[in-house]
A and B are shown apart, each in its own frame.
Chain A
């Protein structure tokens, strides 16, 4: 393997000193002169007609500038983008006429302070006439169900049955078949920073400036469209630190609302969600999905075919959320060589808070369902779960490997990673520890998951799920400048939510240009000056931004060599590049130093070769590798380009008397190709596992039958703390991707994609001796108690 100078070495992340010393600049740090604050009036009903809204008392309250309602807002802005082909499922920041979920915003109050705005918001009088509502997705699909959007004609947003390969034949001839339902609870990433946005309209320039806590592709474009402004009238500032996201920081509705108010009122306006708004009306809840799984397999444990029916409840509006059923198409058989797959995604609307993208974009729920199927198949046959996995894994020598849904996996070594993981945790002694615990009367179980992390963020699920959408371009870019002093600056066109893009770009530029990354600065253009980016989604930036930075740096390097060749009057092939200087091969003293070359580029046109632009800068814009295609009629398509792999092994113990689970051991084997910054990859993975633990055992946006969010505060939406997250270890493995500059793959979703599956398998292994099982997340203490059943009189234990 190529050796690198900076890539893969342990280096402090460039952004750490800033954050650790409290010098981050978040949206709440943006203080604009005369800035006003917004508070929201939210619907108490899951579904209701708005009979009237009286705003006089609120307007008369101290410090109040304006009260905006849906009538005015919807008449003057356009619907947010809908995603799938459902033009009647329009969506605005403020409800007009009807409300479709409890927590939906009905009016916005603008006042001198947030506290005054909240005081006035209480004085807005809204008269509602409750309407029938539906909370359960299966009930929503039944005939006669109350319609969330009557104009759409049903609650079904998307439904298609894909059949890739001879599924029925395989089921008919297989020796064994199992069927079960796996349920993924509605959870999310819940960042410590809620969503926030500040906006200011400059009537002189006609530009709306926006500072927001965002992680969203096409954000400036969508904001401008909804505000009926030309694209070049909206300037989104990307130099705002984002205090956590992993998908949910979309905030487009918030931004259109605040943008509208800022322009209309001619003052700077800010909205920072409080936690109650964030959880209930911030539209950031994740997939809410059940899977009807069927698997056909032989006595040898080899899986012949799989049927997956996935019903996903997106809540009251569409947005991009139905696409979270689409991304898993790109890894629909996991790491397994399964020849025939049926996949039936069904996207349903209910009167719940709308769903938003969450880490993995629907892949983690799907991985959970697949891994429960693997575990159940092994149990069904009485076969060791490791053995069954190995019999089905795609082998190292089979790559590139095209799966039935048409995506080609770039590379992998699944057997190798699993073996190393089991060796690192000492699987034999882990099994002995479990059996020992069982003998002493405790419930103990080992769970394994082996999952894929598709990466590269080619969002071809859009064209797959919406025939009217022909967007096949998912580029990213970087601009590199070397100034007259010889200092290097990388310019990127997106904000970061902790992914370490400054470390990424400086490392890559340093690697190619052989300059110390510590000296390289990375800055962010705003949306009017930026090169195109699709933002850090879909584990794409190591691949796409890393690749773009490398491409631009290579151009700089070629330019420097060309300048030297011109002045030495030799061919570039006769020269070598070392640490930024260029010398004649075999004659180290015949050299142009970095400073000399930079000076020629900037100031000595007479020494510049013809055809070379003065100054020293290069841009690189590229399309995602393997991207750009439309689906076949059967819905086969290449979505993501690169496939990282993770194997989790976990030992869980459950107190048989209290049903309290505890994780005793946790190890994750991880292969994301070449790691550009190992600390950042490991940090993402640790966090991903903790996040997965939340989804597996604790976190749920639960709704009451009357459509109220029952876990609307951190008293009830339970995020694991440092006390619940176990000590864990990571074993690195490296199978380079042949598709990327350095062999890197994505890793932003690492850990989360396999942790819920592994923990679910471990809990089930622990319950197995009792004949109990759980296929519903989160596996709360109560759920475990219910699964074990009424084991009465346990006071005697």
Chain B
């Protein structure tokens, strides 16, 4: 378990990253927290010719909480995001999801951008990005562009980040309704494993308890995390009673086409999808009501 030979460069700035990526093209890989990349290199499943280390770049590490969104630099540690109270108050789903990501030790090293770029279909942060409709700011030597989460994820471990591009920052929309509640839940065999199935939900209700906005999604049941905007839209105007929530969860689960592996069959996953989507929606509703 020793990586195949590679060259290493530690970039001092984002522009240097872009320059290095432009020079080395496809052969270069960015090294963020290394919690996914390094094991894959050690198993020789990935063999970058060049490793461009972005850990020392200050401009990629920040948390900014603004009126209608929070921004995080791509190389911000998962642990830092988890511990940020202002961020948790505006975009609570992030902290709720991060509790399920690996372990304290891996979160101290792993980054937000690394998790999104890695695009594991069972990973928690990509699901949050999908449910909230996060926007990814990509930078290259020739400019910048923004991708919506649903355009960002291309399939299992695949994104639409082009060679030469670096994920620079992520914009997490914040909802302004007073009664906004969110919840994240998942099933994995052991604590800290990637989810077999994960569910995230966020709902807002008005003073009468009527749903004004709802979003929810599922991870682990397709090639990318899935959001269900149409089904969620049907919840608007309801009181989010159990029957409505269960119907929505069931409808979403029915739409999924999960795969089978050693730990879960497709049927089991689809079953869990329904159970967890309902749980996440109910929990989000209770939080919204309690505010």
Binding site for B on A (CB under 8 A): 114-115, 118-119, 122, 274-276, 657-660, 698, 702, 710-711, 713, 715-716, 718, 720-721, 723-724, 780-782, 785-786, 790-797
Contact = CB atoms under 8 A, between A and B. Distances in A.
B275 A795 contact: yes
A702 B261 CA distance: 11
Contact of A794 (B189, B190, B191, B275): B275
Interface in B238-280: 242, 246, 249-250, 253, 262-265, 267-268, 271-272, 274-278
Contacts of B155: none
A780 B189 contact: yes
B190 A718 contact: yes
Interface stretch (B1-9, B134-142, B176-184): B1-9
A794 B263 contact: no
B246 A796 contact: yes
Contacts of A716: 262-263
A782 B187 contact: no
A62 to B, nearest CB: 9
A218 B99 CA distance: 49
Given A658-B275, A794-B274, A795-B246, A781 B264 contact: yes
A723 B274 contact: no
Interface of B: 1-5, 43-44, 187, 189-193, 196, 242, 246, 249-250, 253, 262-265, 267-268, 271-272, 274-278
B156 to A, nearest CB: 15
A782 B265 contact: yes
Contacts, number: 80
A658 B196 CA distance: 11
A710 B277 contact: no
A504 B249 CA distance: 60
17 contacts: A119-B5, A276-B1, A711-B262, A716-B263, A718-B193, A723-B190, A724-B191, A781-B196, A781-B264, A785-B271, A793-B274, A794-B274, A795-B246, A795-B253, A795-B275, A796-B242, A796-B250
Contacts of A781: 187, 189, 196, 263-264, 268
A720 B190 contact: yes
Given A658-B272, A716-B263, A718-B193, 7 more contacts: A275-B1, A718-B190, A723-B191, A790-B267, A795-B250, A795-B253, A796-B242
Contacts of A791: 271
B249 to A, nearest CB: 4
B263 A782 contact: yes
A64 to B, nearest CB: 14
A658 B187 CA distance: 8
Nearest to B250: A795
Contacts of B191: 721, 723-724
Contacts of B268: 659, 781-782, 785-786
Contact of B187 (A660, A720, A780): A660
Contact of A698 (B187, B189, B278): B189
A658 B274 CA distance: 10
Contacts of A797: 275
Nearest to A276: B1
Given A793-B250, A795-B277, A721 B192 contact: yes
A657 B189 contact: no
Contacts of A657: 275
B235 to A, nearest CB: 14
B2 to A, nearest CB: 4
Nearest to A724: B190
Contact of A782 (B246, B264, B276): B264
Given A710-B262, A721-B190, A723-B192, A795 B5 contact: no
Nearest to A796: B246
Contacts of A796: 242, 246, 250, 278
A274 B1 contact: yes
B287 to A, nearest CB: 20
A350 to B, nearest CB: 19
A274 B44 CA distance: 13
Q: Which of A114, A718, A791 has the most CB of B within 10 A?
A: A718
Contacts of B275: 657-658, 794-795, 797
B131 to A, nearest CB: 18
Contacts of B277: 795
